[in-house]
């Protein structure tokens, strides 16, 4: 399965200079989607994961089926104002934006082993904020899995203390 055939590069979206990786053709194809979910799940199979955490919104697309594959629950990290109960919130810089993310304070129990999943690692701001939220809540990040890593942006340097797996690298 040549997964890169299902990722479209869109130049200058949403801003000039950004090479946007459009994953919608990949998730629209049943076989490509299943292949990606299996590969990402296999990475985490021996990690004794208790929970999968994924950031808004494309982290939900891959995080939830991976949680199903692993037989564990999924916890969403969301844009502020979306979660109804008490939250932790972290702010950060994106490749082309600024943002905040929130996590329900009681969604993770102290010491739980967490796999973080997102579609794409760019500058690493999103994933750093997600790690901070998981750790504030008492979780233990045992792995981080991405569908895509944009290596030139060096986001991996920000998370060098954690085991990281990227299915596709550009
Ligand atoms: P970052 O925080 O810079 O690592 O950005 C990661 C998040 O922004 C991911 O959740 C992606 O969904 C989105 N993103 C950033 N850059 C791109 C890109 N070039 N193409 C597609 N999505 C991107």
Q: Using one digit for the tens of pLDDT, what is the confidence trace for 91-106?
A: 998 766 789 999 999 9
Rounded mean pLDDT of the chain? 97
Question: 96 alpha carbon to ligand 1 midpoint, in Å?
Answer: 8
Q: How far is CA 91 from the centre of its chain?
A: 16
Question: 73 alpha carbon to ligand 1 midpoint, in Å?
Answer: 24
pLDDT of residue 95: 64
pLDDT of residue 98: 83
Report yes or no: 110 and 146 within 8 Å, Cβ to Cβ.
Answer: no
CATH topology of domain 46-169: Rossmann fold (3.40.50)
pLDDT of residue 97: 72
Atom of ligand 1 nearest to the CA of 55: 10
Question: 22 alpha carbon to ligand 1 midpoint, in Å?
Answer: 10
Share of the chain above pLDDT 70, in %: 99
Q: Please check the confidence at residue 84 and state whether its pLDDT lies above 90.
A: yes
pLDDT of residue 79: 96
156 CB within 6 A, ligand 1: no
Phi/psi at 99 (nearest 5 deg)?
-160, 170
Full DSSP string of 62-73: HHHHHHHHHT-E
pLDDT of residue 93: 85
Question: 12 alpha carbon to ligand 1 midpoint, in Å?
Answer: 14
pLDDT of residue 96: 64
- The CA distance from 83 to 86, in Å, is 8
| Arithmetic mean of pLDDT, 133-139 | 98
Report yes or no: 1 and 30 within 8 Å, Cβ to Cβ.
Answer: no
Catalytic residue among 78, 90, 95, 149: 95
Domain ranges of the chain: 46-169
User: Closest by alpha carbon to 62, among 52, 77, 71, 72?
Assistant: 52
What residue has token string 């929970």? 51
| pLDDT tens readout for residues 21-71 | 999 999 999 999 999 999 999 999 999 999 999 999 999 999 999 999 999
- The CA distance from 136 to 114, in Å, is 13
54 CB within 6 A, ligand 1: no
Is residue 95 among the annotated active site residues? yes
Q: Please check the confidence at residue 126 and state whether its pLDDT lies above 80.
A: yes
18 CB within 6 A, ligand 1: yes
């Amino acid at each position: 399965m040549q997964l890169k055939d299902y990722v479209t590069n869109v130049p200058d979206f949403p801003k000039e200079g950004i090479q946007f990786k459009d994953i919608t053709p990949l998730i629209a194809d049943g076989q490509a989607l299943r292949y990606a979910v299996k590969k990402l799940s296999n990475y985490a199979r021996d990690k004794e994961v208790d929970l999968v955490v994924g950031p808004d919104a494309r982290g939900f697309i891959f995080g939830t089926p991976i949680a199903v594959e692993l037989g564990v629950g999924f916890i969403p990290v969301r844009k502020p104002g979306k979660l109804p109960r008490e939250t932790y919130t972290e702010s950060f810089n994106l490749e082309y934006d600024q943002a905040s993310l929130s996590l329900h304070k009681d969604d993770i129990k102290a010491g739980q082993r967490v796999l973080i999943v997102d579609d794409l690692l760019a500058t690493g701001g999103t994933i750093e904020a997600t790690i901070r939220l998981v750790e504030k809540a008492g979780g233990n990040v045992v792995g981080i899995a991405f569908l895509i890593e944009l290596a030139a942006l060096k986001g991996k340097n920000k998370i060098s203390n954690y085991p990281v797996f990227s299915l596709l690298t550009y």
